[in-house]
Amino acid sequence: MIIFIDLDGTLTDTAHELFKPYKDGHQETIIDNIPIFIGAKQFILNLITAGHKPIILSDSHPRYVNKIAQQIFQIPAISLTDKPNVEKTLNYINSNSEIAQLYADKDNFLIVGDSWLDIEIGRRLNIRTVLTQFYRASSIEERDGIGQDWKPIKMGPTYYVKSFDELFNVIQRPMENLLAIEAVFQNQNSSKAVKFLHRPYADGFATFRCLARQEDGECDKYARADKYYQIDNPNRSGEFLNSLAHATSNYLNEVAGFQNLSWDYFTYVSDKNTTIPPNKMKEIFDLVNSPFPKIRLFEWNDNVTGSLRNQPNYEARRLFIANNLHMLEGIDLQNKNIIVLDDQFTSSATANEICTQLRNKGVKRILFIALFYLILPVVSKACPRCGKPLKIKIRRNDGNRFFSCLPAQFGGQGCGYVENIA
């Protein structure tokens, strides 16, 4: 496997602005002044021993990057890559016949890095990505994404790791380390989830987790917008529903194994009476093999009109839920710990409003699980007719993807050009 690996913040602890003169090539790099993460050199050696080819992929100056690559890690490097643009990386791939041949199968490649830029360039190249977290940033730097937590997660990496041991395990067993729902559609079992948010309270916490990515635009082939849209398909199969339930069960079994944490009930966000297909979430919920008692806690008002997805912003979404989704009466939830299942995580309005209602009933700990979460859009192809960016869309009836120069009738400004994606 070809492993494109970021340098600053991934192999070397040089994300701090103190090292900027080196990275910009304004000062001669002194190798003894470069802090290397513990385990980084052994990790590179392990990759090479296992038959992989690590290549440093960095935006920094070649006087800095090449010196570190050669003298510390003894591996090739690409510098001044201008992430997330792909031109220089593709030129490198195409200049080497062996690597270019491997690129025909994107599973031969992996990009590893600590910022949203590393994830976006991986998505533009349609290869899997790993988001590392090997340091704690002291400040936020907008361009490189240093210190940002939300944007790298929303960019939708394939994997998350906090150590070189975890990273090596991902590289050696990539299918087993996919997110729970993404894995089940590869006939694998996984309990992996995206750790979106953890909000502590004096007497408990609320935490949000997601089991699969719903891509918007370019991504690796394991993101599952096609599967998300199948939830709303009246013709969805029993096999499909069982797959979602099985993946959810895998994650719940992982949760059940956490020491010093107990959960009283497992529930779900119910559907409106007008939802098509009817009871879409209840069908999935009923199929989940839960180690915790199941209970129905939420219900939409009978006279609700409109839909959540048509609300213009977060505040409107939150208000829509507060006005129309209520908790059933007569159930004592004081000091209880509740797990909630929903179909999608986008703006977090549903999750936050659900948590507010539960907290108002005295619930201490809340685990909100979304089957899918919408990742940020990435578009890398221009319309051959008008030159405007093409948007990748998915046909809801069959799950097939296509490029669309979105016309005004569908909320865009394009010419209407459509191109199917193989």
What pLDDT is attached to residue 398? Answer: 65
What pLDDT is attached to residue 391? Answer: 77
Q: For residue 83, give the amino acid letter.
A: K
CB 55 within 8 A of CB 5: yes
Query: Crossing angle, helix 238-256 and helix 280-287, to 10 degrees?
Result: 60
C-alpha 168/C-alpha 204 separation (Å) is 34
Which helix (H) or strand (E) segment is 300 a member of?
strand 298-300
What pLDDT is attached to residue 288? Answer: 98
Q: How many helices (H) and strands (E) does the chain have?
A: 14, 17
Please state, in angstroms and as integers, the Cα–Cα distance from residue 211 to each residue in 132, 195, 208, 327, following that order.
Answer: 19, 9, 10, 25
pLDDT in tens, 272-301: 887 888 888 999 999 999 999 999 999 998
- Which architecture, in CATH terms, is 194-374? 3-Layer(aba) Sandwich (3.40)
Which helix (H) or strand (E) segment is 341 a member of?
strand 337-345
Is the domain covering 2-177 a CATH 3.10.580.10 domain? no
β-bridge partners, 12: 8, 36
User: What is the per-residue burial (b if ≥16 Cβ within 10 Å, else e) of 181-218?
Assistant: bbbbbeebebbbbbebbeeeeeeeebbbbbbbbbbbbb
C-alpha 127/C-alpha 282 separation (Å) is 35
What pLDDT is attached to residue 139? Answer: 53
The two structure tokens encoding residue 8: 């600053």
* E strand segments, 107-189: 109-113, 128-132, 159-161
C-alpha 271/C-alpha 276 separation (Å) is 9
- For the chain, which residues score pLDDT lower than 70? 137-148, 394, 396-399, 422
Domain ranges of the chain: 2-177, 194-374, 391-420
- Which residue, among 152, 183, 153, has the nearest Cα to 170 in the 3D structure? 183
Hey, do 2-177 and 194-374 end up sharing a CATH topology, with the first three levels equal?
yes
Which helix (H) or strand (E) segment is 320 a member of?
helix 314-324
* E strand segments, 46-124: 53-57, 77-78, 109-113
Please state, in angstroms and as integers, the Cα–Cα distance from residue 349 to each residue in 23, 80, 343, 344, 364, following that order.
Answer: 41, 40, 13, 11, 20
The two structure tokens encoding residue 394: 């998915």
pLDDT in tens, 336-372: 999 999 999 888 889 999 999 999 999 999 999 999 9
